[in-house]
Amino acid sequence: MKVKSIFSAAVIAAAMVGSAFAQEKKNEYVSVDEVKAVADDYRDFQIQGEYVWYAGGKVFACQCIANGDGKFTVVGFPGGFPGMGWHAKEARIYYEGGIEGNEVILRPTKMDLEGQNNLPMMESHKDDITKIDLAGTTMTFCVPGKPDRIAKKFVRPNDRVGVVEDGAVILYDGTAKDKTNTDNIASYRKINEETGAMFAEFVTKELEKGKECFVHVEFMLSFMPRAKGQARSNSGVYLYEAYECQVLDSFGLRGENNECGGFYQQKRPLANAVQSPLTWQAYDFHIIPAKYENGKKVANAKVDVALNGILIHDGLEISGHTPGRKAEADEARGIYFQGHGNNVQYRNIWVKYVD
């Protein structure tokens, strides 16, 4: 994957910090424009994101999570982001803190390794301080007795957003208000009148029964800085209305089977490849449906999954249906997009069958 950086609009963010807005802080934002109307939350939104430090052939990548009201968690990944250089055998380093004066101040709190959570921070780093400017452009690591290390804001390109392959059957476009054709949607709750994207919950019309296929889905997580865990922009893509690949704002988290990219209660993703809220993200599924003979299942469904171009499941055999919708069965079904009370948005949904 080619990687390039795009830096934040620092001037706009800095101006917003000092502004006074009458709007009350919201529990959920579904567009950047909505966040802009609330100065403190927009400031936090601008600070949240990914930062990278390069030097001497080494990479240290960080994901900064907004926790609301000027509080943040930063997770550091030696070697690069998950799926882009960092491996589970490497420690993750956690920093906690918030706005103090005209910058964010964070201090190291813990480490973890695969299978070992909440390890104490090394004594040699207990006095380290990490700072982020309020415009969200740089993150500075201050280690006593050593030169400061400055990481810059990094916005990943996503080559899978906006893709439509030749021969694909469009289930829902939703890339503009005047293109919202719902012919292949069986039922739905609400369409975003400004953009044409569809809010969960909804279900597509039936896929062709038993046919190997590729499915592409684009989604946008809402920004919910004060929510935690499963309450934070929760949805799910149920293939054949039976197998849920989780959709959740689990940016910066471990990547469990109940977080974004996991098959609920069955398999965690190989890497937590989810990006931060209010950016369009893409799932690509390659599905070999379960096989049935005389009404009895003789082979499990198998799936490869990429999230934002990063392989997160490789030949995963799904043992059975996941909770929350329908049991697997030998019948034609569509794709169900779970609502779960949050306003996750979807667009550019298509299927391409293998001949």
Residue 282 and residue 319 share a domain: yes
Q: What is the C-alpha separation between 223 and 41, in angstroms, rounded?
A: 10
| 81 inside domain | yes
Residue 235 and residue 124 share a domain: no
Residue 242 and residue 136 share a domain: no
**pLDDT per residue as tens digits for the range 263-316:** 999 999 999 999 999 999 999 999 999 999 998 999 999 999 999 999 999 999
Residue 122 and residue 21 share a domain: yes
Residue 176 and residue 101 share a domain: no
| 161 inside domain | no
Give the contacts of 20 (CB within 8 A, at least 6 positions apart): 39
Domain count within the chain: 2
| 35 inside domain | yes
**pLDDT per residue as tens digits for the range 116-167:** 877 887 776 778 999 999 999 999 999 988 899 999 999 988 999 999 999 9
- Confidence (pLDDT) at 56: 84
pTM: 0.90
Asked whether 312 and 275 are in contact (CB, 8 A), the reply is no
Digitized pLDDT (tens) for each residue of the chain, 355 residues in all: 333 333 333 333 333 433 333 457 789 999 999 999 999 999 999 999 999 999 888 899 999 999 999 999 999 999 999 999 988 778 899 999 999 999 999 999 998 887 787 788 777 677 899 999 999 999 999 998 889 999 999 998 899 999 999 999 999 999 988 888 999 999 999 999 999 999 999 999 999 999 999 999 999 999 999 999 999 999 999 999 999 999 999 999 989 999 999 999 999 999 999 999 999 999 999 999 999 999 899 999 999 999 999 999 999 999 999 999 999 999 999 999 999 899 999 999 999 999 8
Half-sphere exposure of 300 (CA within 13 A, CB side): 10
Residue 81 and residue 228 share a domain: no
| 4 inside domain | no
Q: What is the C-alpha separation between 239 and 207, in angstroms, rounded?
A: 10
Residue 259 and residue 132 share a domain: no
Find the helix or strand (DSSP H, E) in which 246 lies.
strand 243-247
Q: What is the C-alpha separation between 302 and 12, in angstroms, rounded?
A: 47
Q: What is the C-alpha separation between 43 and 158, in angstroms, rounded?
A: 24
Instruction: Check residue 79 and give left, alpha or beta (phi > 0: left; psi -120 to 50: alpha).
Output: left
Average pLDDT taken over every residue of the chain = 90
Token pair belonging to 75: 């997770």
- Confidence (pLDDT) at 126: 78
Residue 324 and residue 209 share a domain: yes
| 93 inside domain | yes
| 164 inside domain | no
Token pair belonging to 32: 């950047």
Q: What is the C-alpha separation between 56 and 149, in angstroms, rounded?
A: 12
Residue-level length of the chain: 355
Q: Which of 154, 179, 209 is the last residue of a domain?
A: 154
- Confidence (pLDDT) at 89: 79
| 98 inside domain | yes
Residue 99 and residue 60 share a domain: yes
Q: What is the CATH number of the domain that holds 331?
A: 2.60.120.560
127-141 burial, b if ≥16 CB within 10 A, otherwise e? ebbbbbbbbbbbbbb
Q: Which of 154, 181, 210 is the last residue of a domain?
A: 154
Residue 333 and residue 187 share a domain: yes
Give the count of beta carbons closer than 10 Å to the beta carbon of residue 118: 9
- Confidence (pLDDT) at 23: 58
Residue 248 and residue 107 share a domain: no
How far from 7 is each of 47, 106, 153, 326, CA to CA, in Å?
12, 22, 6, 44
| 5 inside domain | no
Q: Which of 88, 120, 154 is the last residue of a domain?
A: 154
Domain that holds residue 148: 10-154
Residue 89 and residue 37 share a domain: yes
